[in-house]
Amino acid sequence: MAENDTRWSIPSMQIARHTDLFLSKAWLKGAPAFLPSLASDLVSDFWRGEGRPLDAFSYGTTRWLTADPVAERLVMHGFAIGAEYALVEALPTNVRSRYEALDLSFRSDSPTVDECSLFTEALAWLDRQPDLLETMALLVRSVHFLVSPGVGYDVSHSDPEVPFSIFVSLPTSENNAGLRLAESVLHEAMHLQLTLIEHAVPLIQDAEAKGFSPWQQKYRPVRGLMHGLYVFRVIDEWLSAVAGSERDFGQGRYVAKRRSEIAEEIAMVSDLGSSSALTEQGGHFVRWLVGDQGLGNASSINQI
């Protein structure tokens, strides 16, 4: 699907309104990075856009990719996320091949009772930060369970061309499984939210510019660095809320370790806001995300 596909178009009046709304939120010091209430406006306007083959109630990954509102949804389970309901979908072969080409492996069976309990636990962890679960409920409408390559490895994915679907593995019976799954779900949901923001507010003006990614340990487009910064800033704030709630010693050590790792990674992109690859709005957004959190000033952005 091309970026100018009518399924993604947002009328210019809505773009102007979103630019003002987005920037007014991003200028607020101390505002949560997941920008509470912004998802509600973005999602509502998304579904009001012209040419949508589906609506919020008929949405499914297969239906979106095939532009067929009555295509069969292979529903294996479902979860209440706040006041909304997300379906656990299997994908038919013709759609699954899109992701298998990326070396993603899919579960073919329905989730077990223990796996359902784990997903519910992950949602409970996300609910430790006020208003976060309400945002997640709007962004996650379809869930796909992946196969992990082994113990200790979490796999997750989202597709910028598929607006409300996430793909995650289930680390059932592993250490800190609920926290790890919660992070995966949050990670992919925030990629989806930033993609919606990008369709309403211009953040990148040079899609070819690259910088070194501390997450992938190689040079990546600046857009990818911005996404990484956004996603992990949100995750760090959520982990901060988790750290202030009751937990056992092992969970506390895990949270502290993840926050330390994220701080080091964000420090490596701390000068991203000065990149000429960003629009004025994009530069402001990135500088707001980095903030003055004392995360370091390592140089990482190189135009190549």
Pairing of strands 210-213, 156-157: unpaired
CA distance linking residue 293 with residue 267, whole number of Å: 10
| Residues 248/254/257/261 CA torsion (nearest 10 deg) | -140
- The DSSP line for the chain is --TT-TTT---HHHHHHHHHHHHHHHTSTT--TT-TTHHHHHHHHHHHSTT-SS-TTT--HHHHHHT-TTSPPEEEEEEEETTEEEEEEE--HHHHHHHHTTT--B--SPPPHHHHHHHHHHHHHHTTSTTHHHHHHHH--EEEEEPPSSTT---EE--TTSTTEEEEE--TTSTTHHHHHHHHHHHHHHHHHHHHHHHHS--BS-TT-EEEETTTTEEEEHHHHHHHHHHHHHHHHHHHHHHTS---HHHHHHHHHHHHHHHHHHHTTTTGGG-TTB-HHHHHHHHHHHTTS-----------
Which residue positions in the chain have pLDDT lower than 70?
Answer: 1-29, 246-247, 292-304
Q: Helices 132-139 and 38-48, interaxial angle, to 10°? A: 20
In this prediction, residue 193 carries a pLDDT of 95
In this prediction, residue 301 carries a pLDDT of 32
In this prediction, residue 13 carries a pLDDT of 44
In this prediction, residue 300 carries a pLDDT of 31
In this prediction, residue 117 carries a pLDDT of 98
CA distance linking residue 236 with residue 259, whole number of Å: 6
CA distance linking residue 17 with residue 127, whole number of Å: 29
What amino acid occupies position 147? V
Q: Is 66 exposed, middle or buried (0-12, 13-18, 19+ CB in 10 A)?
A: middle
- Token look-up 């960003």 returns 278
* Whether 154 contacts 175, CB under 8 Å: no
Q: Beta-carbon neighbour count of residue 303 at 10 Å?
A: 12
